[in-house]
Amino acid sequence: MRAFNCDHCGHLVFFDSTCCVHCGSTLAFVPEWLRMAALTPALPTGAAAVPAVQALPTAAPATELWQAMDAGHTGSGRWRLCSNHTTYQACNFAVPADDPQTLCISCRQTRWLPDLSDPANLRRWKVIEDAKRRLFYTLARLHLTRLDGVAAPEFEFLADQPGQPVMTGHRSGTIVLNVTEADDDERTRRRMALHEPYRTLIGHLRHESGHFYWDVLVHAQPHALEQFRALFGDERQDYGQALQAHYHVGPAGPYGWEEQHVSAYATAHPWEDWAETWAHYLHMVDLMETAASYRTQLTIPGELGPHTMQDPFTPQGRNFDAMLRAWVPLTLLLNSLNRSLGQDHAYPFALSSGAITKLRFVHDLLTPYQPAAR
């Protein structure tokens, strides 16, 4: 994700910020602009805007209107704060003043919540919604949200009930997540039990969104479906039997899975291979956008010339081969920095030529949705 700046004072701010720590300005993320905006209480129509410094209130009325401090730079408009902010301090997205919805475009995609009177569930939900907003941002950068007129998934965040465990997954356009995945200890326990090298909330959401967009981008397009089957296999094979066979082999996967897949789980079924590949592509573009936003240049010892990170969402950074050339140095640096702090590899993967071919398929499938291709 890109770095943001307060458009009142220019100081660095972040995607989840609600207040600039430098100048104290109120901040909110405006989905229509895909940027953070410094806000001030809206003045009557026709009145001149007077820059003001006002920290985001902890219990502002959902109907209170705000406007951008720097209207000339960010555009005009009036906004309300998402009601999940005003009620729970759980969101920092803005809602257009004329929108009849009180929830922002991200929060309104959540159809079902656990019992929020339970403090543990409230904490879990806030963490999950933060990850979901990050997914929204990447999908918006790829022009795959309702803002772009494209179908988007809905979400259910559920807690286990006696005799009714919740299985994380995707069904009929809805992504279901067990809220205990927000607990670091539980997520680590499951990762170790399944011999997974990587398990995160954003990883879950990216993977499950892949199942949703398979219906939208692959199944709905005969030519794409034909290419998919040539690369990933025939998805019409029995899904339940395929999963049983996968877990019979064991979660570590069959011998040599690395030659064609991004993960062992991707071997379970063509749908899972696609979802794992899709999630990996979202990992790539998000990390590369972050590196480019910080103007990262790096040189691998013994190699010639620095690698300059390009924003993969811009025309000059969208070339897939160029992305791959920069990807290996970037992940080497990332893992080396992590090891310097005594942490495991942040990126515990090695991409084979077979996995790269599948990632290229995802990249090419998304190209028509990018502005330069329209």
pLDDT digits (tens, 9 = 90+) for 103-149: 999 999 999 999 999 999 999 999 999 999 999 999 999 999 988 88
Adjacent-strand bridge partners of 297: 308
**191 and 208 share one domain:** yes
Is the separation of the CB atoms in 153 and 275 below 8 Å?
Answer: no
Secondary structure (3-state) at 362: helix
In degrees, to the nearest 5, what angle opens at C-alpha 36 toward C-alphas 369 and 19?
155
Same domain, 285 and 367: yes
Residues 119, 97 share a domain: no
pLDDT at 304: 67
Residue 212 and residue 109 in one domain: yes
Within-domain flag for 305:
yes
pLDDT for res 195:
87
Q: What is the pLDDT of residue 62?
A: 52
The whole-number pLDDT of residue 305 equals 73
Residues 96 and 111 in one domain: no
Provide the domain count of the chain: 3
pLDDT in tens, 164-219: 999 999 999 999 999 999 999 999 999 999 889 999 999 999 999 999 999 999 99
Instruction: Classify residue 255: in a domain, yes or no.
Output: no
For residues 34 and 94, membership in a common domain is answered with yes
Q: Output the pLDDT for position 61.
A: 53
What secondary structure letter does DSSP report for 217? I
User: Which is it for strands 174-178 and 154-158: parallel, antiparallel or unpaired?
Assistant: parallel
Q: What is the pLDDT of residue 53?
A: 40
200 and 146 in a common domain: yes
Residues 207 and 172 in one domain: yes
Whether 274 and 302 map to the same domain: the answer is yes
Helix (H, G, I), strand (E, B) or coil at 342: coil
Measured CA to CA, the distance from residue 366 to residue 362 in angstroms comes to: 6
DSSP β-bridge partners for residue 307: 298
| Residue 59, pLDDT score | 43
pLDDT the model gives residue 243: 93
Q: How many CB atoms lie within 10 A of CB 253?
A: 18
Residue numbers in the chain where pLDDT is lower than 70: 43-63, 71-76, 304, 372-374
pLDDT number for residue 57: 41
Same domain, yes or no, for 98 and 41? yes
Does residue 228 lie in a domain region? no
Residues 131 and 184 in one domain: yes
- For residues 151 and 202, membership in a common domain is answered with yes
Tell me the C-alpha to C-alpha distance, in Å, between residue 13 and each of 27, 55, 88, 219: 9, 14, 22, 40
User: Residue 289: which domain range?
Assistant: 260-374
